[in-house]
């Protein structure tokens, strides 16, 4: 524990010294963990990426335009978290007509995938780290098609312009961040894999914080897509290069065909919206479980008076945890890719159903077992296990443009560095490990089993909250595997119910239950809740929990933003 704490302090000190390079004014991260603005704002996980988004917003770009520029720079500067080799979900609010749209750019399994793809010869599941490495878990990347679809709907600036900040930085080089350097130094697999060794471990040693890194291969890919559109990513050399990397690795070689790339589609999904007190909370539906989890938890909490309780008191945490346990029980039973499995979304979010779920909770004592309920009319019976969660990857950013449009987007390559294999300067995801490794359980089919073309269940929870009049109140989301919903919920409740500043809500201790024990963020004041929660019957563990919450609160005085001090993000705006 002591050494852990020491590590954290060292990291924070380095982060403070890390300044933005590659633009005229250096930016001190700590000074930009929170900010205010009137016209436009971006909160994102890396200063260079946030600055790329800011420059697009300053030039009259839309929130979607800025999201594209930001995600391209994140591919370069925060390669461990997300990129064009991965997937994303985007929630959009259009200020002109008030419409909320959600875009699904989740990776899809190739035609060669099958329900038992993560089972070993003896029928037992592969150890998770073994399955995550190499070709087998690589899904068809969805980021590029999703961003192109959102740009066709909501872009203002030309597509090609949005790639220029990333192309310039990739050519000229950027300063390796302390967080990237730390993760590279800790990794034992990538120094053995030719594509990642060459890029991240020049001369056999991991890149250090502050080293200048150039990526001409990525610059070429981005130039091609800038000039020829997203389709160029899914055909020709770029997709062929991905297929070759996946096929020729010695770690879990796999087959992705040209047809797999050609047939990949981004999809517009129905937003998942619930009423919480006087607010309307909208998020991502299947294949993410994020919107349903948050919606169910809030729907249950409607039956308790959280605003009257002390913020993060044992009394309030108990109710949040019990509501979370019930929601996770339903998630395992019902939620997967709705193009393959009938997911009873309306039934799961029906206020009458959630009222019946709320009755299962007793203030002050833990319910023995949180079981799935009978939601909707579905005749299916599923039982799915949670996937492993690494929590060091994935990225969330929130944007508001000068026209009032809002984007809340979470992007991922799954675990840190994804499959740990690179193609043409970008990392490939290992998102298919988000499928349940066991296709059946006690003879019942598992909802989230793998299948050709299917998208693995996610917990990513990009969210926008609205007031009664339909005006945006909060844009928020986070990385963190299946803890994402809990992290995001913390900020929603702290801002809406406890009137906290969004930056304070973000830095408040993380307290999450995913159905099992309660995880409390180690080294924080929340550790003191342990005895009271244990007295109610809860099993409490202290854990490191690296959320990456980046949010914007729309207040009557203007825009207020917050960036998670657990990562390297900042807030910029005007």
- Shortest distance in whole angstroms from residue 505 CB to ligand GLU: 19
Q: Which residues contact 37 (CB under 8 A, 6 or more apart)?
A: 558, 559, 561, 573, 574
Q: Which of 206, 299, 391, 418 binds ligand GLU (CB under 6 A)?
A: 391
- Shortest distance in whole angstroms from residue 513 CB to ligand GLU: 16
| Comparison of 89 and 312: residue with beta carbon closer to ligand GLU | 89
- Shortest distance in whole angstroms from residue 306 CB to ligand GLU: 26
Catalytic residue among 394, 410, 433, 560: 394
316: enclosing H helix or E strand: helix 314-334
- Shortest distance in whole angstroms from residue 396 CB to ligand GLU: 9
Region 62-91 residues binding ligand GLU, contact defined as CB under 6 A: none
Residues belonging to the chain: 574
Of the candidates 23, 98, 90, the one whose C-alpha atom is nearest the C-alpha of residue 58 is 23
Q: Which of 151, 154, 390, 550 binds ligand GLU (CB under 6 A)?
A: 390
Burial class (CB in 10 A: 0-12, 13-18, 19+), 205: exposed
Residue 524 catalytic?
no
| Comparison of 196 and 458: residue with beta carbon closer to ligand GLU | 458
Percent helix, strand, coil in the chain, to 5, is 40, 20, 45
27-47 burial, b for 16+ CB within 10 Å, e for fewer?
Answer: bebeebbbbebeebbbbbbbb
Region 470-499 residues binding ligand GLU, contact defined as CB under 6 A: 479-481, 484
Q: Which residues contact 544 (CB under 8 A, 6 or more apart)?
A: 4, 521, 522
- Shortest distance in whole angstroms from residue 307 CB to ligand GLU: 30
- Shortest distance in whole angstroms from residue 485 CB to ligand GLU: 9
Cα angle at 456 between 410 and 281, to 5 degrees?
45
Q: Which residues contact 555 (CB under 8 A, 6 or more apart)?
A: none
Q: How many whole angstroms separate alpha carbon 439 and alpha carbon 5?
A: 40
Fill in the per-residue mask, 430 to 469: x = in contact with ligand GLU (CB under 6 A), - = not in contact. -x--x-----------------------xxx---------
| Comparison of 322 and 414: residue with beta carbon closer to ligand GLU | 414
Q: Which residues contact 534 (CB under 8 A, 6 or more apart)?
A: 540
Q: Judged by CB under 6 A, which stretch of 314-322, 328-336, 388-396, 521-529 contacts ligand GLU?
A: 388-396
| Comparison of 82 and 239: residue with beta carbon closer to ligand GLU | 82
Q: Judged by CB under 6 A, which stretch of 3-11, 363-371, 385-393, 498-506 contacts ligand GLU?
A: 385-393
Compute the chain's Rg from CA coordinates.
Answer: 22
Region 395-414 residues binding ligand GLU, contact defined as CB under 6 A: 412, 414
Taking CB under 6 A as the rule, does residue 393 contact ligand GLU?
A: yes
Catalytic residues, by residue number, are 394
Question: Which residue ranges make up the site for ligand GLU (CB under 6 A)?
Answer: 390-391, 393-394, 412, 414, 431, 434, 458-460, 479-481, 484
């Amino acid at each position: 524990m002591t050494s852990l704490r020491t590590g954290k302090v060292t990291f924070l000190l380095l982060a403070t010294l890390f300044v933005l390079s590659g633009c005229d004014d250096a930016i001190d991260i700590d000074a930009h963990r929170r900010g205010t603005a009137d016209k436009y704002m971006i909160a994102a996980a890396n200063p260079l990426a946030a600055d790329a988004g800011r420059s697009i917003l300053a030039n009259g770009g839309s929130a979607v335009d800025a999201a594209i520029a930001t995600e391209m720079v994140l591919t370069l500067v925060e390669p461990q978290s997300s990129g064009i080799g991965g997937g994303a979900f985007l929630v959009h609010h259009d200020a002109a007509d008030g419409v909320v749209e959600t875009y699904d750019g989740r990776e899809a399994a190739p035609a060669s995938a099958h329900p038992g793809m993560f089972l070993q010869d003896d029928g037992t599941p592969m150890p998770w780290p073994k399955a995550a490495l190499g070709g087998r878990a690589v899904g068809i990347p969805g980021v590029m098609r999703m961003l192109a679809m959102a740009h066709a709907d909501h872009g203002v600036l030309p597509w090609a312009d949005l790639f220029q900040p990333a192309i310039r930085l990739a050519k000229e080089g950027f300063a390796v961040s302390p967080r990237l350097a730390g993760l590279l130094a800790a990794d034992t697999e990538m120094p053995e894999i030719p594509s990642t060794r060459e890029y991240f471990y020049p001369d056999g040693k991991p890149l250090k914080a502050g080293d200048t890194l150039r990526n001409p291969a990525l610059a070429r890919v981005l130039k091609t897509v800038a000039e020829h559109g997203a389709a160029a990513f899914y055909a020709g050399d770029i997709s062929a290069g991905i297929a070759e990397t996946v096929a020729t690795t010695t770690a879990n070689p796999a087959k992705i065909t040209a047809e797999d790339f050609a047939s990949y589609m981004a999809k517009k999904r129905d937003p998942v919206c619930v009423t919480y007190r006087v607010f309307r909370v909208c998020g991502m539906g299947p294949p993410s479980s994020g919107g349903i989890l948050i919606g169910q938890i809030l729907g249950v909490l409607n039956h308790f008076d959280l605003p009257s309780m002390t913020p993060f008191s044992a009394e309030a945490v108990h109710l949040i945890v019990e509501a979370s346990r019930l929601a996770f029980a339903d998630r395992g039973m019902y939620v997967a890719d709705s193009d393959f499995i009938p997911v009873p979304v309306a039934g799961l979010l029906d206020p009458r159903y959630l009222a019946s779920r709320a009755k299962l909770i007793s203030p002050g004592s833990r319910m023995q077992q949180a079981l799935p309920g009978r939601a909707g009319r579905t005749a299916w019976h599923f039982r799915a296990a949670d996937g492993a969660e690494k929590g060091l990857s994935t990225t969330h950013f929130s944007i508001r443009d000068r026209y009032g449009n809002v984007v809340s987007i979470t992007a991922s390559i799954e675990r840190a560095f994804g499959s740990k294999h690179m193609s043409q300067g970008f990392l490939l995801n290992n998102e298919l490990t988000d499928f349940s490794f066991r296709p059946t359980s006690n003879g019942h089919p598992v909802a989230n089993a793998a299948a050709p073309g299917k998208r693995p269940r996610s917990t990513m929870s990009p969210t926008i909250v609205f007031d009664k009049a339909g005006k945006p109140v909060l844009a928020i989301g986070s990385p963190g595997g299946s803890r994402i919903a809990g992290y995001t919920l913390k900020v929603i409740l702290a801002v809406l119910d406890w009137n906290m500043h969004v930056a304070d809500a973000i830095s408040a201790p993380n307290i999450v239950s995913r159905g099992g024990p309660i995880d409390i963020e180690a080294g924080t004041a929340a550790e003191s809740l342990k005895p009271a929660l244990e007295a109610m019957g809860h099993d409490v563990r202290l854990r490191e929990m690296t959320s990456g919450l980046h949010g914007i609160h729309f207040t009557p005085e203007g825009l207020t933003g917050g960036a998670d001090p657990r990562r390297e993000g900042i807030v910029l705006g005007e």
